[in-house]
Amino acid sequence: MGRLHTIFHACHLVQPSNRGEYEISEAIDLLIQSGRTIDAIGLEGWRIDAGYPEDREEAERRSQGGEVEA
């Protein structure tokens, strides 16, 4: 598989799931399998699963409304 350096490298190798979506967990698994250490950080505030156009529209609405810190 070679050495994967970032999540972005791993994402290029991920195939769509049975649902037709690209799963970030698959990219994380690829990084772990290649010997990378995975760290996580906690986030405060709102979040949106932007998997659908209406979700991205909601994120845009919130960011335009000042709910997102620059």
Sign of CA dihedral 42, 46, 52, 56: negative
Higher pLDDT among residues 25 and 62, named by residue: 25
The per-residue pLDDT for 56 is 87
Give pTM, 2 decimals.
0.62
The Cα 66–Cα 64 span in angstroms is 5
Torsion of CA 48, 53, 39, 31, to 10 degrees: 160
Same domain membership, residue 2 and residue 35: yes
Q: Which domain holds residue 49?
A: 41-70
Same domain membership, residue 32 and residue 49: no
Same domain membership, residue 34 and residue 5: yes
Distance linking the first and last C-alpha atoms of the chain: 38
Identify the CA nearest to 32 among candidates 4, 52, 61: 4
How many Cβ atoms sit within 10 Å of the Cβ of residue 26?
16
Look at residue 14 and tell me whether its pLDDT is greater than 60: yes
Same domain membership, residue 69 and residue 52: yes
The per-residue pLDDT for 27 is 95
Same domain membership, residue 26 and residue 54: no
Same domain membership, residue 13 and residue 33: yes
**Segment 26-70, tens digit of pLDDT:** 999 999 999 999 888 888 877 888 778 898 888 888 888 766 654
